[in-house]
Amino acid sequence: MRSRVLTAVVPVWLNRGSHARAHAACHASALLWNRAVAWVRSEWSAGRSPGREDVRRYVTSLPAEARPLHAHTAQAVAYDLAEAIVLGRRNRQQGVARTKLPWRQKSYRRLVFTTGFGWKITRDGRLALSLGRGRERIVLPVPEFPDRQGETVAPDRWGEMKLCWDAADRSWSLRVAYRAPDDGLPDAGDRSDESVPDMRVVTVAVDEGLINPMALATRAPDGGYEVAVINGRSARSLKQRRNKGVAQLQAKSARCSNGSRRHRRLAAARKKLTARTDRSLRDFNHQVTAKANRFIREQVSAHERAAPAEVRVMVRLVVGNVRGIERNTERKRRNARSTRQQLSQWERGTQERQLAYKTGLVIRHVDEAYSSQTCPYCLTRCKVRGRTYACVNSDCSRVLHRDAVGGVNIHTLAVNDGAYVPVAPGIPVRVKYLRALPGWSCDQRGRHSMYQRARLRAGPWSGREARSSARNRATRVDASGAAGVAVSFCEGRRRDREDGVAAPRGAGRAGARTA
């Protein structure tokens, strides 16, 4: 059975001694990184190009006092630097603007522990993290976490783990790599010819945006377009709350003396606000990518059911190329101030990496110029305001969701080698609107308290209904105590007025207490 490596993030708590040793090791790891970067750049200046093993040999040749870490932790620093150099050169080859090779000095860096050497399970059933010969270990309870099937991952399936410190949340976490059955979708690779008889390629296009982080479009087995638009307004509200809170705290800190008690309290409040927002945004990103992953797998399953038994269904994931749009927004000043702030705080890259991680697919980028302005049926271009696209061509007059238009056009560009091809008039575009996080509609938020009071006045019941399960409807109870038809609260009040019934305020509440 094929398998792949996944990563679990497990929060851990360290006592005072382990906390101090871990902090000192993280600082030492950062200093080791700085020395390795300086050496690599000196080699480049001398006209040499050191490879992966050259960097490792340099790091391991340093004296013991220069690398007060486990030998494998020091090797991980060298390998991470070599991988960062390879990634930077690859980005340069792909044309990513203003790509820099590693140069920045660090003061803090996570610790890496390898299997069998960096970490092991002790005889008394605890997890020991080694900091090198002659140094006291960090001993923790063995973390327990489930895999995607809900089963607890045993330590024999664990691989490399990293001990990370969150400065804003002031907490430690272990990132444990483990092997799991490969549930990734089959990637189509570079083969994009959908006419191959023994293979059907399902192309899924993703249009990324600030308001709606992802709009996915693909062709259904019946030939129509299936589009899923994932709403992201909750993330915008989280960021706005954080930005306003941080601005207020900074204004107050500016009026304090550095190091004073009030200054320290304001700094702690800022970290607390940032950590709370980061946790909410982390959950939001996982919800967005989980819904996108579910949509892709549903479409692939539909194609597998419709395809003949000898045909293999492959997937190609294509995303509109907006990389670099969030960089240098202050210097370019092409947009308004609020738009520049939203662009600089856009978590597009995080969502792309999570989607690739969950689906097991390689993301390919395509130029998305004018994809949200072009009508997919007649190729007429027009500027759009709002979330609804209305074609200005009188012979077409199509009205679609703006993000659905972008997703369909990116899909067209992906399957036609970057060229716009009009969609046949008879092909439908079916749009499904998803909310990333469960929330309250305006009607639910406005009626919730009245709904609870109506429930209490209706008659004896066991207790208040939870806020998350409120449905804006109250069950009427007739005079005999039998439950009637569920009607809305406003409709129930109207019928009471017509029947001349007026329940005294608080009567239902007293009845509920005596029940």
Inter-residue contact 205 to 418 (CB < 8 Å) = no
Inter-residue contact 71 to 60 (CB < 8 Å) = yes
Sign of CA dihedral 272, 277, 282, 283: positive
The radius of gyration computed from the CA coordinates of the chain, to the nearest angstrom, equals 29
In a 3-state reduction of DSSP, which class is residue 204? strand
Report CA dihedral (71, 74, 76, 80) to the nearest 10 degrees: -160
| Tokens matching residue 333 | 């000043």
| Tokens matching residue 386 | 């709002």
Inter-residue contact 82 to 90 (CB < 8 Å) = no
Paired residues of 12 in beta bridges: 172
Which DSSP category does 153 fall into?
A: P
Distances (CA, A) of 260 to 268, 269, 418: 12, 14, 59
Q: How far apart are CA 515 and CA 509, in angstroms?
A: 10
Instruction: For the chain, give percent helix, strand, coil, nearest 5.
Output: 40, 20, 35
Strands of 171-181's sheet in order across: 3-12, 171-181, 158-166, 111-113
* pLDDT at residue 42 in the model: 96
* pLDDT at residue 441 in the model: 59
Report CA dihedral (289, 300, 222, 395) to the nearest 10 degrees: 30
Can you spell out the DSSP letters for 408-466? HHHHHHHHTTT---PPPTT--EEEEEEESS----HHHHHHHHHHHHHHHHH---SSPPP
DSSP H or E segment with residue 205: strand 199-208
| Tokens matching residue 280 | 């909410």
The residue ranges of every structural domain in the chain are 3-181, 199-232+284-435, 442-514
* pLDDT at residue 113 in the model: 96
Report CA dihedral (381, 385, 389, 395) to the nearest 10 degrees: -50
Q: Where are the beta strands (DSSP E) in 307-398?
A: 312-320, 363-366, 388-390
* pTM listed for this prediction: 0.77
Inter-residue contact 205 to 197 (CB < 8 Å) = no
Helices within 138-260 (DSSP H only): 233-253
* pLDDT at residue 149 in the model: 83
| Tokens matching residue 510 | 């007293």
Beta carbons within 8 Å of 415's beta carbon, 6+ residues apart: 192, 194, 203
Q: Map tokens 């066991």 to a residue.
A: 462
Which DSSP category does 125 fall into?
A: S
Residue type, 471: R
Distances (CA, A) of 507 to 486, 488, 491, 496: 21, 20, 20, 15
Per-residue pLDDT of the chain (515 residues; tens, 9 = 90+): 678 899 999 999 999 999 999 999 999 999 999 999 999 999 999 999 999 999 999 999 999 999 999 999 999 999 999 999 999 999 888 877 778 899 999 999 999 999 989 999 999 999 999 999 999 999 999 999 998 888 899 999 999 999 999 988 899 999 999 998 888 899 887 454 444 557 889 999 999 999 999 999 999 999 999 999 999 888 999 999 999 999 999 999 999 999 999 999 999 999 999 999 999 999 999 999 999 999 999 999 999 999 988 889 999 999 999 887 777 666 666 777 888 888 888 899 999 999 999 999 999 999 999 999 999 999 999 988 888 999 999 999 899 999 999 999 999 999 998 899 999 988 999 999 998 877 655 556 555 666 666 666 665 544 544 544 433 333 333 333 333 333 333 444 444 444 444 443 333 333 333 33
Beta carbons within 8 Å of 102's beta carbon, 6+ residues apart: 37, 40, 81, 84, 85, 88
